Structure 1
């Protein structure tokens, strides 16, 4: 029997992930009291993936400040009350043998929006609980209100928000921290020349556009110490000529690795409207290009829906792990099923579920 590459453990610093099937961050827009607090929904949603055999369970984009939320219903970790509730969730995830990870985020010009299933879309007005948004430049996302351009002296405060959120995350029991620099949110807005029109030290050259991200990576690494894992999520391309692309991503990933990041989670798009060639494994080549150009570890995401596809991505070396989202919503136990399909011997079937474990042919 050939050993499954997908079910080989992966060590990131002192954190050992039991396999390479990981849970991508998936916004739930379910903090219904508009206070950023996790609820039983989040416990069951995230806990089900740990029961189902995932190696890493990442939270949705979790705001480092109230104004950093994508929607009023987003999670946050800007205070100790939120931290305390997250502790219950991380304890459950880790008790099932999975690693607990959190994605720290600031939405920038894409903040203060209605959740995806609302009857109306776009920017939530202040009269309905919304707030003014900020960005590197006063350039609006299509269909949203125009943001205010951040002053240079405000940027250290954003770095400190990420640093403080990382400390709360560690104290809440998270072992993996991911900095969100993708999907058109604040750090991606700084990275891409399509949204960053600044003429100061945070705009213009690639080094300048990457400055805020690298300051955050260094601050988070200093705060969490040398043992825990630090990831960065990038959009590998804006899918628009003249925008952010895989070559720039690889360059900045190399710099971020020097600053203390361990692995790069490569997605794409989200900054501006674009024609995206969506299909099975459509983002995997971006992850592979970043991995090969920068010599860094990467995960791949994007319409990976079968055990064979996931195994092929990892076994071929195109990525070091796969992130799943919609397929895990359809089947939270995908990793357990995939292990059976691939003939992988695993010892973390929950005892309560053993009667459902497929019997191997004799």
Structure 2
């Protein structure tokens, strides 16, 4: 039986993850001066999307689909975040084509019959005033891989096309360059191949609308297909989608954004996740300056949010992981937007684990939203933990209200 609240909610109740009795919407550009409430729990409006706090579930692959379908695992997984009070839950990287999957267990949205499983998650999450986004992507040369939690995955091995399991396929890329010597040699994409991918993103966006999705994020990070086109280390093409120029390398992303926007209402938010830096030296790879330049172009194309991550496109990358290690990149991009009076929103992600860390990022104008990944896997009710750290009274899921932490002087 489909779940619906069939009773009247208490008059002083808003929704899980909301400050108790919060009754205003903070404009995205507001400074929050004279507001002693934590910015992490302030509301935010993006186009027609109203978020009750700045705590977002980052897209995280589950590798638990069969033929791309969302199933009971996904419903259970994502509904926990909605009940836990996240303002926005972004569904994992969802492939626009079967050949665009990272692994054979990836979620997909390349056919209409895959809509219903997604819509079930969206409808249930909306009951808790949790909005739902989805990350649309294509793996390119990093496809036909082994699910991360299975044996052999950590060695970055590809599954060959002739594997008896039937779980392997040909992979495609801007140029015939392997990610590593253990990965498949990709087939260089023809212009027709590229046009088909652009059309696949468009068709998947139409399915997103039918499923009731609130926000689409285009995955242009972590070494997957669009990121492969962006970087000169993986894109050696000599045609209009390369040509050794910045404009040529960003052309695929620009055309995908335009194609998606042609079917995705301008009133609905559109985001792009990027790897702001490739973390390679002496390779002339993609870097922060490229990202700042790209951000301005994306804003002119009606992109509302740039989701700033790093790395993933080069096996020679040298990343020093530490708390908040990616925040300097989101900070510089956000400052460049502010200097030109732009309205593009920015999100930060990467080893952000405490409420004070998140609050400091927002207060320093390093970003407008915080995306949490592993922290949500460890605790699906992370907003409750953060509210506890900040000694802030928030609503819980209505059925869990009796468990609310209470403070005494």
Which TM-score applies when normalising by structure 2?
0.86
Give the conservation status (yes or no) of the 8 Å contact 2:43–2:51: yes
2:383 match? 335
Q: CA RMSD in A?
A: 1.2
CA distance in 1, matches of 2:54, 2:304: 15
Moved over 4 A (4+): none
1:360 match? 407
2:52 match? 18
1:141 match? 179
Deviations 1:40-93 (A, max 9, x none): 110111111111111110011000010000000000001111111111010111
Note the residue ranges of structure 1 that are not aligned, 5 or more in a row: none
Quote the offset at 1:294 in angstroms. Answer: 3.6
Deviations 1:102-126 (A, max 9, x none): 0000000001101112222311122
Q: 1:161 aligns with which of 179, 200, 211?
A: 200
1:81 match? 113
2:21 match? none
Alignment of 1:1-362 (within 5 A): 2-31=36-65, 33=66, 35-121=67-153, 122-126=157-161, 127=163, 128=165, 129-142=167-180, 143-203=182-242, 204-241=244-281, 242-273=284-315, 274-295=317-338, 296-347=344-395, 349-362=396-409
Give the conservation status (yes or no) of the 8 Å contact 2:56–2:370: yes
Quote the offset at 1:156 in angstroms. Answer: 1.6
Higher helix proportion, which one?
Answer: 1
Instruction: Give 1 or 2 for the bigger CA radius of gyration.
Output: 2
Deviations 1:132-157 (A, max 9, x none): 00000000111201000001232121
Quote the offset at 1:246 in angstroms. Answer: 1.1
Which TM-score applies when normalising by structure 1?
0.97
CA distance in 2, matches of 1:54, 1:8: 12
CA distance in 1, matches of 2:91, 2:45: 20
Where 1:103 maps in the other structure, the secondary structure is: strand
Where 1:224 maps in the other structure, the secondary structure is: coil
Note the residue ranges of structure 2 that are not aligned, 5 or more in a row: 1-34, 339-343
Give the conservation status (yes or no) of the 8 Å contact 2:219–2:272: yes
Give the conservation status (yes or no) of the 8 Å contact 1:4–1:343: no
